[in-house]
Amino acid sequence: MVTSPPKIEVRDLRLAYGHKEVLHGVSFAVPSHEIFGIIGPAQSAKTSLLRCLNRTIEFTPHIHVSGSIRVDGQDVRRVPDVYELRRKIGMVAPLPVGLPLSIYDNVAFAPRCAGLTNRQELEARVEKCLRQAALWDEVKDRLDTLGTKLSGGQQQRLTIARALSHEPEILCLDEFSIAIDPVTTMRIEDVLKELRREITIILVTNLTQQARRLADRTMFLWNGEVVELDRTEVMFSDSPKDRRTYDYVQGNFG
């Protein structure tokens, strides 16, 4: 049996802010077209881990990173073009951050920056991404409206559409549902299930049941260390390998 190489491979990743180490030798691998869940209490360095993947961690002063992160076999810290890396790895933050532009221009912004100027191609890209984010039917007749005028749930879906606009191969979601209602959350979850056919998804969530619904495998990160990583059904069973996993997913702490 031939096993394809992982899309993402992290080995002995360590991250320190100044003298304080927050990731302690984290290792894991993610194959293509998987939804990979990361759960854990606050201050477990989940967001920091995501920011290491596309090197936005470098915007923070006095950080030190060691170990390796490979995407398609290439060390991300040795890529010749960091902007190309960030186009390859889309990121969605916990709170929607809309650009002060129209809905259309929010989605068209990244493709334009990458050199796409053909109007028909731009229009097709905008429509595709808004459809992928389950937003097209709600905004197709008002694309010139400011994106910041949308509701919170719509703005978060616009954020997802914008993240998809540069056609990433990996989509990282950091607590995407923290500020939106349950109905909108479920709509986005349905979107993610469809998107996995095209891209690889890393889902950081404090909602353990969200990981249970979406993730193929789940990693439990606690105080910057991997407590357990397994198929999601095992992690949420009555007998995970580590008692701390059981206590966390049962809500006994966290």
* Whole-number percent of the chain with pLDDT over 70: 98
Residue 2: pLDDT band (50, 70, 90) is very low
pLDDT at 4: 72
Q: What rounded mean pLDDT belongs to the chain? A: 92
Flag whether pLDDT at 214 surpasses 50.
yes
Confidence of residue 177 (pLDDT cuts 50, 70, 90): confident
- Going through the chain in order, the beta strands assigned E by DSSP cover 8-17, 20-30, 35-39, 63-71, 74-75, 89-92, 170-174, 200-204, 217-222, 225-231
Contact predicate 100/45, CB 8 Å = no
Q: How confident is the model at residue 104 (pLDDT cuts 50, 70, 90)?
A: very high
The torsion of the CA quartet 190, 192, 194, 200, rounded to 10 degrees, works out to -160
- Mean pLDDT calculated for residue range 45-55: 95
Predicted pLDDT of residue 187: 86
DSSP single-letter state for residue 5: P
192 three-state secondary structure: helix
Give the Cα separation of 251 and 254 in Å (integer): 7
pLDDT, average across residues 23-52 = 96
pLDDT digits (tens, 9 = 90+) for 109-123: 999 988 999 999 999
Higher-pLDDT residue of 214, 95: 214
Average pLDDT over residues 166-176: 93
Q: Which domains does the chain have, with CATH numbers?
A: 8-249 (3.40.50.300)
Rounded to whole angstroms, the Cα distance separating 161 from 158 reads: 5
Span 136-161, pLDDT tens digits: 999 999 999 999 999 888 998 999 99
Give me 216's structure tokens.
């193929």
pLDDT score at 254: 59
| Tokens read off for 237 | 């069973």
The C-alpha atoms of residue 172 and residue 203 are separated, in whole angstroms, by 6
Asked whether residue 178 carries a pLDDT value surpassing 80, the answer given is: yes
Residue 217: strand, helix, or coil: strand
Higher pLDDT, 15 or 196: 15
Does 1 score more than 60 pLDDT? Answer: no
Tens-place pLDDT, residues 61-102: 999 999 999 999 999 999 999 988 999 999 998 877 778 999
Cβ(31)–Cβ(7) under 8 Å?
yes
Model confidence pTM above 0.85:
yes
